[in-house]
Structure formats: C-alpha cells, structure tokens
Amino acid sequence: MPDQGTAATPLIEFQSLSRVFGAGAAAVRALDAVDMRIDEGEFIAIMGPSGSGKSTAMNILGCLDTPSSGAYRFKGVEIGRLDPARRALLRRRFIGFVFQGFNLLPRTSAVENVELPLIYRGAPQAERRELAMQALARVGLKGRERHTPAELSGGQQQRVAIARAIVTEPAVLLADEPTGNLDTSMSREIMDLLVALNRGQGITVVMVTHEPDMAAYAERVIRFIDGRIATDEHRGRAA
C-alpha cells in the first residue's frame, strides 16, 4: 500500500492514461493519453460537457475503474498493477466520496450513516461512534446526530454525506456534482464547507461540476473535451 511519499511525489498522477470502452469499430476512447498531476492539499474542479471524459477520470481516480493503457499513480504506487482486493483496500483507506444524490440510508440516523465506512473497516463500536460524532461536529451538525435524513434539509443531508466521506481521514475527497440537488444558498454552504476542509484540515478535494459558480471556489480548474484536457487553469486561492 502507499506510504506517505516525499514532497516531490504527487498525490495523484496520470501518465499518458487512456480508457477505451468496446473494441474495433465500436470502440469509444473516453480518455485519450491524459497527463495530469494533483498535489496534496489542492482544491481542483473538473469541468467539461457530457461525454468529455470527466466522469471516467473520476472513476479511475476513485479506483472504481482502471486505465486501458498508460499509468495511474496514487502516492507513487501504480494502481493498475494492484489486484481488485488491494484497490478496494486503497479506496477504503485513502479516498472519500461525495455524490450528488447523498446516498444516505433513509431510516438510519445521521451518526449511523457516518459510521458505515468504519464498519467496513472493522472498527469497534465505541470507536466508530466517537469518530462519527467528531466528523458530524466538523461539518457543523453537532446536535443533529440522531436525526434521520427525512428530518434534515438537503444541505444538512449533504453535510452528513461529507462527514461520512471524511470520517476515515482520507487523503483525497472526490466530490461528484456535490451541489447538483441543492438550491443556491445551500450550494454556497456546502462549497464553503469543502473550502474549510481543504484549507483548515488539508484534505485534497477533486470536484466534478457543471456550474461555473461552484468551480470558482477551486484553486485550479481542469476542463476536459473529447477525452483530453483542454485547459488547466491555476487561479490561486480566492480571498
């Protein structure tokens, strides 16, 4: 498994990475020889039209898929060389996921939803509960731990989902359209939270979004077109 690496080692690296679906005349090249580097502590927005390759890139980043050719390195380890069990272990230990649809268990309390990744790790019950309570406090939900999703607003539900993603102290948080189901006010609250987790706690954030207003929170915006990186803009941190 990856170690902590050195300062010179990127957290994430794509090297001439391609992903092809199908074969022959029916082949679709979703990613085409992509080179990309993401360093620890960055906040990156990935944009692009439907079919541009951004979702395929996120699936590979999250160890949910593997490249057809080229290399994906996480903390210096080439992921394509790991068997499925070790990829799953890496995913559980180092990567947190936040989705547009929240994906919370509806009749389960917030704290129990947040405990789920720790159950998969085999953590003892008392440890799970303590870490889940801490994670909910970190996202501003202290006092709401016993509420079910139906008793929470959309923004609060997404905060529970973020708490679940960070309870394992991941190296990177992958957020796929995290504000897609929220109104403008709630979207800003979630983006402010992601910025706070990135700046205050050092969590690397990689976010897919269609919304320029949400991408503006990121320090760097990568745009995909036709399976390739069209632009890679470093903006620096907003005030």
| Residue spans per domain, the chain | 12-234
- Alpha-carbon gap, residue 148 to 142, rounded angstroms: 14
Calpha distance 123→129 (Å, rounded): 10
Q: What is the mean pLDDT of the chain?
A: 92
- pLDDT at residue 8 tops 80: no
Residue 121 has pLDDT above 60, yes or no: yes
Asked whether the predicted pLDDT for residue 64 surpasses 60, the reply is yes
Which 3 state secondary structure label does DSSP give 57? helix
The count of other CB atoms within 10 Å of the CB of residue 57 is: 27
- And the tokens for 63? 């160890």
Residue 6's pLDDT band, with cuts at 50, 70 and 90, is: very low
> What does the pLDDT read at residue 92?
87
Per residue in 27-53, pLDDT tens? 999 999 999 999 999 999 999 999 999
pLDDT at 7 over 60: no
- Residue 20, SS3? strand
- At residue 70 the predicted structure's pLDDT band, cuts being 50, 70 and 90, is very high
Can you name the residues that pair with 44 across neighbouring β-strands? Answer: 206, 220
Does residue 59 contact residue 206 with C-beta atoms inside 8 Å? no
Please tell me the predicted confidence (pLDDT) of residue 30.
Answer: 96
pLDDT at 238: 55
Enumerate the β-bridge partners of residue 47: 223
pLDDT at 5: 46
For 80-90, the pLDDT digits (tens) are 889 999 999 89
Checking 21-28 for CB contacts under 8 A at 24+ apart, the result is: none
- Looking at the chain, the whole-number percentage of residues with pLDDT higher than 90 is 82
Mean pLDDT over 65-77 rounds to: 94
- What is the chain's alpha carbon radius of gyration, rounded to the nearest angstrom? 18
Fill in the DSSP letter of residue 29: E
The answer to whether residue 1 scores a pLDDT higher than 70 is: no
Helix, strand or coil, per DSSP, at residue 17: strand
Four-residue CA torsion sign, 19, 162, 187, 237: negative
Superfamily of 12-234 according to CATH = P-loop containing nucleotide triphosphate hydrolases (3.40.50.300)
